[in-house]
Amino acid sequence: MTPQRSFSISRHLNKLRWLSLSLVFAMLIALPCLHVYQTYVAAHAYDLIAPSEKQFYDVMEALTSPLTNDPATDLDAVKGNTWSGNFWGLKLSDPLAAVGQAAAGMTLYWPFLLTALIPIVVTAFFGRIFCGWICPANFLYELNSNLAAWLQLIGLKTGMRRFDRRIKYVVLAVGLGLSILSGSIMVAAIYPPAIIGRELYYAIAQGGFGVGMVFFAATLLFDFFVSRRGFCRYLCPGGALYSLLGRYRLVRIQRQVQTCNDCQKCNAVCEFELDPWHDGFGQECTNCAACIAICPTDALTFNLRLVDLAPQGPGHLGRQYRREHEHLDRDVDEAAA
Amino acid sequence: MRVVFLIMLASTLFAMLPGFLGLSGQATAHHILGRPAYNLNEDSNTPPSMQAEVQVGQYQMTYMIYPAFPQPGEGARVSLYIIGIDDGVPYDGKVAFTIREMPWASFLGDDGHEDHLGTQPPDDKVYRQGFTVPEAGDYLVTARFEGNGEPYVVDFPLRVGIPPLLGPFAYVGAGVLLLLIVIAVVRRRQAITAKIRTAQSSQSAQR
């Protein structure tokens, strides 16, 4: 019989994160639907549209009627996607969008740059929280990763190659350099959350996917057959920027060595192959809380620190520590005798 | 003066008499809602469902389909207007039209079966080709003609019937997403176990 652990909210943060990822993904599907419905309403087009579109109209009308009496106007309140959007008057942009725009335009257009301020401040506090909690591509990448893990369990091999994490900083630098040279935000073309936002809009509002979906499918295959979570770990330019911005994040996960039993499950479930067992979170940690959720002894918690703790050695509940300290205790006893 | 007025009134009434008696021929509308009548099918006063303009070689082509939503088993028409890019002079040769259904595997090189629709001379500078397609679907209309000794073959899309709300790619995408979610939810514990085992075997291999 396994002992019951007391309820701890931090252990359930990973579920909350999945809820957040699901809601963001659902929002990216809902927004183009709302936009299409809004267009139909504004054009008084009900009698002109095809029967299947009428069904769509009716469903959207039923969903939105409790919220608004004037969808043609009121649905303007929410527009955009995670790349850049307007949410009830609050304009938010991905920091990569701001940096990319500044590079492509070779100017600092403050009204747009300021829309990235809140995400930058949040990243300075919480690190790559966008990657772990919001990124719609991460939602799909993690599902893909789970599928790969399950297939491994039934005997199929999937990609586990490792590369240098610094490649993504090169990708970011090259992308921004090309943006400067071309005058176009090149990083947006290979940035999965921006691609997902665009492609979902194309698919729903314009009836077909664009070439971006081919690229995104290629990244999923890369993750599946070459390197688990390879795109986020090694290639994503946004991940590189968030890692830099979150290098000195205030909120970070910390291991309590006194309650660690060295089971290493935290290392196993970390999607970014970090090393929580040796206190190695670094700037790549997304604060996803998967390691906290899996820890059987609640040895991982959130803490307020600007840097990670130095490696604390083996966990005090682990065999290695006990063995070493039994030796020490015995030596001390023998010396005393 | 009064006589002249009476003669004019009598002439007018005489001219209107056949109309009153229902003897006049059917009047042909010249314009409907401001659009030139020659643009429209007699049975359809709707705008074209598709209007595409392309430039190929020395010609610019405008392609239209009438009525707005061609239905399976009902007559419809393609109109093609071809002018020279340089001089704006309408092409006056013959144009052959063929049609083929676009198979779902068209991107793999499967072009499907092609049917000849007809060869048309210009009709008021426009090439009009009527057709009836029995089944709904996505088709390609191909126009072939020869200009300045060079063959021209141009493909245009044609949708017959109401398009489905979701296409095959949407079904595939939704299916894959559903599969991923089901595995993530139903096989969550197994997936975590697999990750832990993989990590452990990877560590032991490194040692």
ipTM confidence score: 0.72
Extract the tokens encoding A307. Answer: 């840097």
Same-domain status, A290 and A329: yes
Same-domain status, A182 and A263: no
Our CA-based measurement puts residue B191 at a distance from the nearest CA of chain A, in whole angstroms, of 5
Same-domain status, A231 and A262: no
Query: Is residue A236 situated within a structural domain?
Result: yes
Among A192, A221, A243, identify where a domain stops: A243
Task: Give B182's contacts in chain A (Cβ within 8 Å).
Answer: none
Q: A149, B194: Cβ pair inside 8 Å?
A: yes
Name the CA radius of gyration of chain B, rounded: 30
CA–CA separation, A123 vs A93, rounded Å?
Answer: 13
Query: Is residue A1 situated within a structural domain?
Result: no
Among A214, A243, A272, identify where a domain stops: A243
Query: Is residue A57 situated within a structural domain?
Result: no
Query: Is residue A180 situated within a structural domain?
Result: yes
- The pLDDT-based confidence of A295 (bands split at 50, 70, 90) is very high
| Contact yes or no for B101/B139 (Cβ under 8 A) | yes
Our CA-based measurement puts residue B162 at a distance from the nearest CA of chain A, in whole angstroms, of 7
CA–CA separation, B54 vs B63, rounded Å?
Answer: 8
- Decide if pLDDT at A11 tops 90: no
Strand segments (E) across chain A: 78-80, 84-87, 90-93, 251-255, 300-304
| Contact yes or no for A64/A70 (Cβ under 8 A) | no
Same-domain status, A162 and A109: yes
Task: Give A223's contacts in chain B (Cβ within 8 Å).
Answer: none
Number of domains in chain A: 2
Our CA-based measurement puts residue A101 at a distance from the nearest CA of chain B, in whole angstroms, of 31
Query: Is residue A275 situated within a structural domain?
Result: yes
For A164-184, how does the pLDDT look when each residue is reduced to its tens digit (9 = 90+)?
999 999 999 999 999 999 999
Same-domain status, A221 and A277: no
Helix A136-153 vs helix B188-206: angle between axes, to the nearest 10 degrees?
70
| Contact yes or no for B57/B149 (Cβ under 8 A) | no
Among A215, A243, A271, identify where a domain stops: A243
- The pLDDT-based confidence of A284 (bands split at 50, 70, 90) is very high
pLDDT of res. B30: 43
Query: Is residue A249 situated within a structural domain?
Result: no
Computed over every residue of chain B, the mean pLDDT equals: 76
Q: B194, A50: Cβ pair inside 8 Å?
A: no
Nearest to A270 by CA among A252, A289, A255, A251: A289
Query: Is residue A4 situated within a structural domain?
Result: no
Task: Give B136's contacts in chain A (Cβ within 8 Å).
Answer: none
Same-domain status, A277 and A226: no
B204 touches chain A (CB under 8 A): no
Same-domain status, A209 and A303: no
Same-domain status, A213 and A87: yes
Mean pLDDT of A83-87: 94
Q: B162, A50: Cβ pair inside 8 Å?
A: yes
Is residue B176 classed exposed, middle or buried when 0-12, 13-18 and 19+ CB atoms within 10 A define those classes? middle
pLDDT of res. A129: 94
Q: What is the residue type of B129?
A: Q
Same-domain status, A235 and A88: yes
Nearest to A129 by CA among A301, A289, A282: A289
Task: State the best of B192, B195, B206, B207 to mutate against chain A, taking most chain A CBs within 10 Å.
Answer: B195
Same-domain status, A22 and A136: yes
pLDDT of res. A81: 93
Q: How far is CA B124 from CA A199, B46, B91, in A?
A: 43, 20, 11
Nearest Cβ partner for B181 among A143, A150, A265: A143
Query: Is residue A306 situated within a structural domain?
Result: yes
Residue A297 backbone zone (phi > 0: left; psi -120 to 50: alpha; other: beta):
alpha
Structural element, H or E, at residue A212: helix A211-225
Domain span at A310: 255-337
Q: B190, A143: Cβ pair inside 8 Å?
A: no
Q: Find the residue in A nearest to B197 (Cα).
A: A268
Same-domain status, A133 and A261: no
Same-domain status, A131 and A236: yes
| Contact yes or no for A38/A71 (Cβ under 8 A) | yes
